[in-house]
Protein backbone atom coordinates (compact mmCIF):
# COMPACT_ATOMS: atom_id res chain seq x y z
CA UNK A 1 0.00 0.00 0.00
CA UNK A 2 1.13 3.56 -0.73
CA UNK A 3 0.47 5.71 2.35
CA UNK A 4 -0.49 9.31 1.64
CA UNK A 5 -1.12 12.23 3.99
CA UNK A 6 -3.65 14.68 2.51
CA UNK A 7 -3.46 18.12 4.10
CA UNK A 8 -6.47 20.35 3.44
CA UNK A 9 -6.65 24.17 3.36
CA UNK A 10 -3.89 25.25 5.76
CA UNK A 11 -4.89 28.92 6.24
CA UNK A 12 -1.78 29.55 8.42
CA UNK A 13 -2.25 26.36 10.52
CA UNK A 14 0.98 24.43 9.86
CA UNK A 15 3.92 24.73 12.23
CA UNK A 16 7.19 23.20 13.51
CA UNK A 17 5.24 20.51 15.36
CA UNK A 18 3.57 19.43 12.10
CA UNK A 19 6.96 19.26 10.39
CA UNK A 20 8.34 16.91 13.06
CA UNK A 21 5.15 14.81 13.24
CA UNK A 22 5.04 14.28 9.47
CA UNK A 23 8.82 13.69 9.31
CA UNK A 24 8.56 10.90 11.89
CA UNK A 25 5.37 9.39 10.39
CA UNK A 26 5.04 6.30 8.16
CA UNK A 27 3.77 8.30 5.16
CA UNK A 28 5.33 7.75 1.72
CA UNK A 29 3.96 10.96 0.27
CA UNK A 30 2.40 14.25 1.39
CA UNK A 31 -0.20 16.11 -0.69
CA UNK A 32 -1.33 19.65 0.10
CA UNK A 33 -4.59 21.06 -1.28
CA UNK A 34 -3.52 24.74 -1.12
CA UNK A 35 -4.82 27.93 0.56
CA UNK A 36 -1.76 28.43 2.76
CA UNK A 37 -2.31 31.99 4.05
CA UNK A 38 -4.75 34.09 5.94
CA UNK A 39 -4.75 37.16 3.71
CA UNK A 40 -1.18 38.08 2.84
CA UNK A 41 1.31 36.74 0.32
CA UNK A 42 3.95 36.98 3.07
CA UNK A 43 2.04 34.25 4.97
CA UNK A 44 1.90 32.07 1.83
CA UNK A 45 5.69 32.33 1.53
CA UNK A 46 6.30 31.64 5.22
CA UNK A 47 4.01 28.55 5.30
CA UNK A 48 5.65 27.48 2.01
CA UNK A 49 9.06 27.61 3.75
CA UNK A 50 7.66 25.53 6.62
CA UNK A 51 6.43 22.91 4.11
CA UNK A 52 9.91 22.89 2.49
CA UNK A 53 11.21 21.22 5.68
CA UNK A 54 9.16 18.08 5.06
CA UNK A 55 11.50 15.16 4.46
CA UNK A 56 9.04 13.17 2.31
CA UNK A 57 8.15 13.61 -1.35
CA UNK A 58 5.49 16.32 -1.28
CA UNK A 59 3.30 18.15 -3.76
CA UNK A 60 1.02 21.14 -3.43
CA UNK A 61 -1.62 22.64 -5.71
CA UNK A 62 -2.17 26.39 -5.28
CA UNK A 63 -5.57 27.53 -4.01
CA UNK A 64 -7.42 30.76 -4.69
CA UNK A 65 -5.63 32.37 -1.72
CA UNK A 66 -2.12 31.44 -2.87
CA UNK A 67 -0.14 34.13 -4.71
CA UNK A 68 -3.28 36.21 -5.30
CA UNK A 69 -4.20 39.56 -3.74
CA UNK A 70 -7.20 40.78 -1.78
CA UNK A 71 -8.04 43.02 -4.78
CA UNK A 72 -8.04 40.00 -7.11
CA UNK A 73 -10.18 37.94 -4.71
CA UNK A 74 -12.65 40.82 -4.44
CA UNK A 75 -12.80 40.90 -8.24
CA UNK A 76 -13.54 37.18 -8.36
CA UNK A 77 -16.26 37.47 -5.70
CA UNK A 78 -17.96 40.60 -7.08
CA UNK A 79 -17.40 39.79 -10.78
CA UNK A 80 -16.00 43.31 -11.33
CA UNK A 81 -14.03 43.28 -14.58
CA UNK A 82 -11.90 46.19 -13.37
CA UNK A 83 -10.74 44.22 -10.31
CA UNK A 84 -10.48 40.91 -12.21
CA UNK A 85 -8.12 42.31 -14.85
CA UNK A 86 -4.68 40.75 -15.27
CA UNK A 87 -2.28 41.29 -12.38
CA UNK A 88 1.19 41.40 -13.98
CA UNK A 89 2.78 40.56 -10.61
CA UNK A 90 0.96 37.23 -10.12
CA UNK A 91 3.56 35.08 -11.99
CA UNK A 92 6.26 36.60 -9.77
CA UNK A 93 4.32 35.77 -6.62
CA UNK A 94 3.80 32.18 -7.82
CA UNK A 95 7.57 31.95 -8.41
CA UNK A 96 8.20 33.23 -4.85
CA UNK A 97 5.95 30.46 -3.53
CA UNK A 98 7.76 27.90 -5.69
CA UNK A 99 11.13 29.12 -4.34
CA UNK A 100 9.88 28.96 -0.73
CA UNK A 101 8.63 25.37 -1.21
CA UNK A 102 12.13 24.11 -2.11
CA UNK A 103 11.83 20.42 -3.02
CA UNK A 104 8.04 20.38 -2.52
CA UNK A 105 6.56 20.33 -6.03
CA UNK A 106 3.98 22.89 -7.14
CA UNK A 107 1.26 21.45 -9.36
CA UNK A 108 -1.09 22.92 -11.99
CA UNK A 109 -2.04 20.92 -15.13
CA UNK A 110 0.90 18.65 -14.38
CA UNK A 111 1.60 14.98 -13.88
CA UNK A 112 3.86 13.83 -11.05
CA UNK A 113 5.15 10.25 -11.11
CA UNK A 114 5.78 8.66 -7.73
CA UNK A 115 7.74 5.50 -6.93
CA UNK A 116 7.52 4.04 -3.42
CA UNK A 117 11.23 3.12 -3.58
CA UNK A 118 12.69 6.18 -5.35
CA UNK A 119 10.28 9.08 -4.72
CA UNK A 120 9.61 11.34 -7.73
CA UNK A 121 10.67 9.68 -10.99
CA UNK A 122 10.52 10.44 -14.73
CA UNK A 123 9.81 6.89 -15.87
CA UNK A 124 7.30 4.22 -14.85
CA UNK A 125 5.78 4.90 -11.46
CA UNK A 126 3.71 3.16 -8.79
CA UNK A 127 1.32 6.12 -8.67
CA UNK A 128 0.69 9.05 -11.02
CA UNK A 129 -0.67 12.21 -9.45
CA UNK A 130 -2.49 14.48 -11.84
CA UNK A 131 -2.69 18.04 -10.66
CA UNK A 132 -5.83 19.80 -11.96
CA UNK A 133 -6.52 23.53 -12.55
CA UNK A 134 -4.65 25.69 -10.01
CA UNK A 135 -6.11 28.63 -8.01
CA UNK A 136 -9.71 27.40 -8.39
CA UNK A 137 -12.40 29.62 -6.81
CA UNK A 138 -15.14 26.98 -7.33
CA UNK A 139 -18.31 27.33 -9.36
CA UNK A 140 -18.87 27.81 -13.09
CA UNK A 141 -16.24 30.52 -13.74
CA UNK A 142 -12.50 30.00 -14.13
CA UNK A 143 -10.87 31.79 -11.21
CA UNK A 144 -8.10 34.26 -12.11
CA UNK A 145 -8.90 33.73 -15.78
CA UNK A 146 -6.30 36.17 -17.22
CA UNK A 147 -3.52 34.34 -15.37
CA UNK A 148 -4.83 30.87 -16.27
CA UNK A 149 -5.07 31.88 -19.92
CA UNK A 150 -1.63 33.50 -20.12
CA UNK A 151 0.19 30.72 -18.24
CA UNK A 152 -1.65 27.61 -19.47
CA UNK A 153 -3.47 28.70 -22.64
CA UNK A 154 -6.75 27.61 -21.03
CA UNK A 155 -9.66 29.93 -21.87
CA UNK A 156 -12.77 27.85 -21.10
CA UNK A 157 -13.95 25.05 -18.84
CA UNK A 158 -13.86 22.82 -21.97
CA UNK A 159 -10.18 23.68 -22.62
CA UNK A 160 -9.45 22.89 -18.98
CA UNK A 161 -11.37 19.58 -19.03
CA UNK A 162 -9.42 18.53 -22.14
CA UNK A 163 -6.11 19.32 -20.39
CA UNK A 164 -7.01 17.26 -17.32
CA UNK A 165 -8.24 14.36 -19.46
CA UNK A 166 -5.02 14.40 -21.54
CA UNK A 167 -2.97 14.18 -18.36
CA UNK A 168 -5.01 11.17 -17.23
CA UNK A 169 -4.55 9.55 -20.63
CA UNK A 170 -0.77 10.19 -20.46
CA UNK A 171 -0.54 8.30 -17.20
CA UNK A 172 1.29 4.99 -17.56
CA UNK A 173 0.66 3.83 -14.02
CA UNK A 174 -2.22 1.62 -12.98
CA UNK A 175 -2.76 3.85 -9.92
CA UNK A 176 -3.86 7.46 -10.38
CA UNK A 177 -4.85 10.23 -7.98
CA UNK A 178 -6.13 13.69 -8.93
CA UNK A 179 -5.03 16.56 -6.68
CA UNK A 180 -7.18 19.67 -7.04
CA UNK A 181 -7.88 22.75 -4.93
CA UNK A 182 -11.63 22.32 -5.37
CA UNK A 183 -13.49 19.11 -6.17
CA UNK A 184 -15.68 18.42 -9.21
CA UNK A 185 -19.25 19.54 -9.71
CA UNK A 186 -21.82 16.76 -9.85
CA UNK A 187 -21.64 15.84 -6.16
CA UNK A 188 -22.95 19.08 -4.62
CA UNK A 189 -26.72 19.49 -4.96
CA UNK A 190 -27.12 20.43 -1.29
CA UNK A 191 -25.13 22.89 0.88
CA UNK A 192 -23.90 20.06 3.16
CA UNK A 193 -22.66 17.99 0.20
CA UNK A 194 -18.96 17.40 -0.31
CA UNK A 195 -18.61 20.45 -2.65
CA UNK A 196 -22.06 22.01 -2.18
CA UNK A 197 -22.41 25.76 -1.69
CA UNK A 198 -23.22 26.62 1.93
CA UNK A 199 -22.67 30.40 1.73
CA UNK A 200 -25.35 30.85 -0.97
CA UNK A 201 -27.61 27.77 -1.20
CA UNK A 202 -29.22 29.17 -4.39
CA UNK A 203 -25.93 28.49 -6.18
CA UNK A 204 -26.29 24.77 -5.43
CA UNK A 205 -23.25 22.97 -6.69
CA UNK A 206 -19.92 24.77 -6.22
CA UNK A 207 -17.67 22.08 -7.70
CA UNK A 208 -15.42 22.58 -10.73
CA UNK A 209 -17.21 21.75 -14.02
CA UNK A 210 -13.93 21.07 -15.88
CA UNK A 211 -13.00 18.37 -13.39
CA UNK A 212 -16.49 16.82 -13.56
CA UNK A 213 -16.28 16.74 -17.36
CA UNK A 214 -12.80 15.14 -17.39
CA UNK A 215 -13.86 12.55 -14.81
CA UNK A 216 -17.07 11.81 -16.71
CA UNK A 217 -14.99 10.93 -19.76
CA UNK A 218 -12.46 8.92 -17.74
CA UNK A 219 -14.82 6.85 -15.63
CA UNK A 220 -14.96 3.16 -16.64
CA UNK A 221 -11.87 3.58 -18.85
CA UNK A 222 -8.31 2.40 -18.19
CA UNK A 223 -7.27 5.92 -17.21
CA UNK A 224 -9.87 6.62 -14.49
CA UNK A 225 -8.33 7.79 -11.19
CA UNK A 226 -8.88 5.81 -7.99
CA UNK A 227 -8.91 8.95 -5.81
CA UNK A 228 -9.76 12.66 -6.14
CA UNK A 229 -8.31 14.73 -3.28
CA UNK A 230 -9.29 18.40 -2.90
CA UNK A 231 -10.39 21.05 -0.41
CA UNK A 232 -11.61 24.64 -0.77
CA UNK A 233 -15.16 24.08 0.52
CA UNK A 234 -14.40 24.06 4.24
CA UNK A 235 -16.00 21.36 6.41
CA UNK A 236 -17.73 23.80 8.82
CA UNK A 237 -20.94 25.04 7.24
CA UNK A 238 -22.30 28.55 7.38
CA UNK A 239 -25.24 28.33 9.79
CA UNK A 240 -23.74 25.32 11.62
CA UNK A 241 -22.99 21.68 11.01
CA UNK A 242 -20.36 19.93 8.94
CA UNK A 243 -20.32 18.93 5.29
CA UNK A 244 -19.78 15.40 3.97
CA UNK A 245 -16.02 14.95 3.54
CA UNK A 246 -15.95 11.60 1.68
CA UNK A 247 -17.97 10.11 -1.18
CA UNK A 248 -17.47 6.93 -3.22
CA UNK A 249 -19.09 7.25 -6.66
CA UNK A 250 -18.56 5.01 -9.71
CA UNK A 251 -15.51 3.44 -8.09
CA UNK A 252 -13.78 6.80 -7.47
CA UNK A 253 -13.02 7.87 -3.90
CA UNK A 254 -13.66 11.62 -3.43
CA UNK A 255 -12.00 13.24 -0.42
CA UNK A 256 -12.49 16.80 0.84
CA UNK A 257 -9.63 17.46 3.30
CA UNK A 258 -10.53 21.09 4.17
CA UNK A 259 -11.04 20.91 7.94
CA UNK A 260 -10.54 24.62 8.84
CA UNK A 261 -8.96 25.52 11.18
CA UNK A 262 -6.83 22.39 10.79
CA UNK A 263 -5.22 23.05 14.18
CA UNK A 264 -7.74 23.57 16.97
CA UNK A 265 -8.37 22.92 20.64
CA UNK A 266 -10.62 20.15 21.90
CA UNK A 267 -11.13 19.54 25.63
CA UNK A 268 -8.13 21.79 26.29
CA UNK A 269 -5.87 19.80 23.96
CA UNK A 270 -4.37 20.88 20.65
CA UNK A 271 -5.49 18.72 17.72
CA UNK A 272 -4.14 18.63 14.14
CA UNK A 273 -6.17 17.36 11.21
CA UNK A 274 -5.20 15.58 8.01
CA UNK A 275 -6.55 12.75 5.89
CA UNK A 276 -4.85 9.38 5.56
CA UNK A 277 -5.18 7.60 2.21
CA UNK A 278 -3.77 4.11 1.63
CA UNK A 279 -4.04 2.58 -1.79
CA UNK A 280 -2.89 -0.24 -4.00
CA UNK A 281 -4.30 -1.94 -7.10
CA UNK A 282 -7.11 -3.65 -5.24
CA UNK A 283 -8.01 -1.42 -2.32
CA UNK A 284 -8.36 2.21 -1.17
CA UNK A 285 -8.72 3.16 2.51
CA UNK A 286 -9.47 6.72 3.64
CA UNK A 287 -9.77 8.13 7.15
CA UNK A 288 -9.57 11.46 8.96
CA UNK A 289 -6.71 11.69 11.45
CA UNK A 290 -6.56 14.02 14.44
CA UNK A 291 -3.07 14.18 15.93
68 binding Fe ion? (CB under 5 A):
no
End-to-end CA distance of the chain: 22
72 binding Fe ion? (CB under 5 A):
no
Among residues 41, 133, 176, 232, the one that binds Fe ion under rule CB under 5 A: 232
Q: Near Fe ion by CB under 5 A, which window of 1-9, 53-61, 204-212, 272-280?
A: 1-9
Nearer to Fe ion, 113 or 232 (CB): 232
| Strand pairing class (252-256; 227-231) | parallel
9 binding Fe ion? (CB under 5 A):
yes
Nearer to Fe ion, 176 or 232 (CB): 232
Question: Smallest distance from the beta carbon of 222 to Fe ion, in angstroms?
Answer: 32
Question: Smallest distance from the beta carbon of 68 to Fe ion, in angstroms?
Answer: 10
Question: How many angstroms separate the CA atoms of 69 and 8, rounded?
Answer: 21
Binding to Fe ion in span 114-173, by CB under 5 A: none
Q: Where are the alpha helices (DSSP H) in the chain?
A: 16-23, 41-51, 70-78, 81-84, 90-101, 145-152, 157-170, 209-218
Binding to Fe ion in span 33-62, by CB under 5 A: 35
Q: Near Fe ion by CB under 5 A, which window of 49-57, 153-161, 229-237, 261-269?
A: 229-237
Question: Smallest distance from the beta carbon of 10 to Fe ion, in angstroms?
Answer: 9
Q: Near Fe ion by CB under 5 A, which window of 28-36, 112-120, 205-213, 282-290?
A: 28-36
63 binding Fe ion? (CB under 5 A):
yes
Question: Smallest distance from the beta carbon of 285 to Fe ion, in angstroms?
Answer: 25
Residues touching Fe ion, count (CB under 5 A):
5
Nearer to Fe ion, 47 or 165 (CB): 47
273 binding Fe ion? (CB under 5 A):
no
Question: Smallest distance from the beta carbon of 162 to Fe ion, in angstroms?
Answer: 24
Question: Smallest distance from the beta carbon of 230 to Fe ion, in angstroms?
Answer: 10
Among residues 12, 44, 64, 105, the one that binds Fe ion under rule CB under 5 A: 64
Q: What is the 3-state secondary structure (H, E, C) of the chain?
A: CEEEEEECCCCCCCCHHHHHHHHCCCCCEEEECCCCCCCCHHHHHHHHHHHCCCCCCEEECCCCCCCCCHHHHHHHHHCCHHHHCCCCCHHHHHHHHHHHHCCCEECCCEEEEEECCCEEECCCCCEEEEECCCCCCCCCCCCCHHHHHHHHCCCCHHHHHHHHHHHHHHCCCCCEEEEEEECECCCCCCCCCCCECCCCHHHCECCEHHHHHHHHHHCCCCCCCCEEEEECCCCECCCCCECCCEEEECCEEEEECCCCCCEEEECCEEEEEEEEEEECCCCEEEEEEEC
Question: Smallest distance from the beta carbon of 135 to Fe ion, in angstroms?
Answer: 9
Q: Near Fe ion by CB under 5 A, which window of 8-16, 104-112, 194-202, 243-251?
A: 8-16
Cα 207 versus chain centre, distance: 12
Write out the residues near Fe ion by the rule CB under 5 A: 9, 35, 63-64, 232
Amino acid sequence: MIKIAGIGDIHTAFDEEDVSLFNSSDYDLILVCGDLPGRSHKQTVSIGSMLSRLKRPALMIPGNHDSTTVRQLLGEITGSNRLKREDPKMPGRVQELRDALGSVQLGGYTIHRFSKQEGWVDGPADLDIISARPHSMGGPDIGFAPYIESQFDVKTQEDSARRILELLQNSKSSLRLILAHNGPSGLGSFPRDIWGCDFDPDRGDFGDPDLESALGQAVDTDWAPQVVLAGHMHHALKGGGERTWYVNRNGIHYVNAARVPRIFRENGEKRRHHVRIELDRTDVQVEQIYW
